[in-house]
Chain A
Amino acid sequence: AQSVAQPEDQVNVAEGNPLTVKCTYSVSGNPYLFWYVQYPNRGLQFLLKYITGDNLVKGSYGFEAEFNKSQTSFHLKKPSALVSDSALYFCAVRDIKAAGNKLTFGGGTRVLVKP
């Protein structure tokens, strides 16, 4: 079985400050990990993914994520947050050995960037 936890329902940050959104996962084998962002009443937009190799993954809009196998984490980061980054962020996981391409999503973290 595969699962994802996003321990924070909401993260508040001042514009220009670093932003971190936490994600931990559980899979029986090795993971594929994804981050998505959702703006109000919209679908999810893909930000970045971890496959293998470099533990620091760079994605869209200045976001990056750090894979940590020992801590089973994949935290999303942005060095300097913008007000326009305010949205709902989802982490998702898939076990490499799992059949098909079923993703398991976390419950989401709402990010509020204040000017």
Chain B
Amino acid sequence: DGGITQSPKYLFRKEGQNVTLSCEQNLNHDAMYWYRQDPGQGLRLIYYSQIVNDFQKGDIAEGYSVSREKKESFPLTVTSAQKNPTAFYLCASSTSGTGSYEQYFGPGTRLTVT
């Protein structure tokens, strides 16, 4: 988990509220990613960014938004439009480009919406 921090570790919100998850990295990576993990399922890509001020939708972007104003930071907002937001959220970063670059993951944020 070194080099990527996610806060908070646990987050509780009421239904209908937007919530922002923090992700910071000090690995000097250009690319950053947000994944969602549900019990018994693999990781699903929400959004990714290859460079500052640019990002693309992943496979399950509906109900989420992101920004990439700084290289080190890639916050994820879970909006009230996300129908089932309770999940474990993982942020990752990597060197950008077409090489065989592994992604490095943060410790995750467990979001519970009631």
Residues of A within 8 A of B (CB): 9, 32, 34, 36, 41-46, 49, 51, 90, 94, 96, 99-103, 105-108
| Pairwise interchain contact A43-B108, C-beta atoms closer than 8 A | yes
* A102 surroundings in chain B (CB, below 8 A): 45, 48, 58
Quick check: is B63 within 8 A (CB to CB) of the other chain? no
Quick check: is B98 within 8 A (CB to CB) of the other chain? yes
Task: Select which of A96, A99, A105 is within 8 A of B42 by beta carbon.
Answer: A105
Contact A90:B105 (CB < 8 A) given known A100-B50, A101-B94, A102-B48: no
Residues of B within 8 A of A (CB): 1, 4, 6, 31, 40-43, 45, 48, 50, 56, 58, 88, 90, 92, 94-108, 110
CB distance from B112 to the nearest CB of A (A): 13
Closest partner residue, chain A, to B105 (CB atom):
A43
* A43 surroundings in chain B (CB, below 8 A): 1, 4, 6, 90, 92, 105-108
| Pairwise interchain contact B100-A103, C-beta atoms closer than 8 A | no
| Pairwise interchain contact B104-A99, C-beta atoms closer than 8 A | no
- The CA-CA distance from A90 to B40 in the complex, in Å, is 12
* B92 surroundings in chain A (CB, below 8 A): 43-44
Contact A101:B97 (CB < 8 A) given known A43-B90, A106-B42, A107-B42: yes
Task: Select which of B96, B102, B108 is within 8 A of A42 by beta carbon.
Answer: B108
* B45 surroundings in chain A (CB, below 8 A): 102
| Pairwise interchain contact A90-B43, C-beta atoms closer than 8 A | yes
CB distance from B98 to the nearest CB of A (A): 7
Contact A44:B90 (CB < 8 A) given known A90-B43, A100-B50, A102-B45: yes
Closest partner residue, chain B, to A35 (CB atom):
B102
